[in-house]
Amino acid sequence: MKQIRVILSSEAKEVYRFLNKESPDSKQERMILKSLNQKIELIKQNPHFGNPISKKLIPEEYVKKYGVRNLFRVELPNFWRMLYTLTKGETKIEVIAFVLDIINHPAYNKKFRYKKK
């Protein structure tokens, strides 16, 4: 069985630190952080846990910056999203789930160029 390692991008680490810092005083951040940690554990058990995003919808920024070829979305409380990609690890028995972003709904809509109806 392949080992799944979850790594956060610098952007995702920044949001993760923010959630950790704010969670003692904010119920919303605490709820998002708890869900985020649960989802990371689920990804470690099943790397295809998230909803796959069509290749034609992958933001160009991810393709250019990280060479993304696949993208998965995980829904978090309060309409937040976690976006990750799967890559080969350093060994043949390892898969890396690379978390690209942890973003709120307006930022998600902007990144994917969704417009309000």
CATH number at residue 37: 3.30.2310.20
Say if residues 22 and 112 touch (Cβ distance below 8 Å): no
Residue 57 falls inside a structural domain: yes
- Domain with 38 in it: 3-111
What tokens does 23 get?
Answer: 């969670």
Domain count, the chain: 1
Residue 97 falls inside a structural domain: yes
Share of the chain above pLDDT 90, in %: 79
Residue 86 falls inside a structural domain: yes
pTM: 0.91
Length of the chain: 117
Residue 116 falls inside a structural domain: no
Give the position of tokens 């704010």: 22
Residue 117 falls inside a structural domain: no
**C-alpha 38: how far from its chain's center?**
12
Share of the chain above pLDDT 70, in %: 97
What pLDDT score was predicted for residue 2? 78
Residue 26 falls inside a structural domain: yes
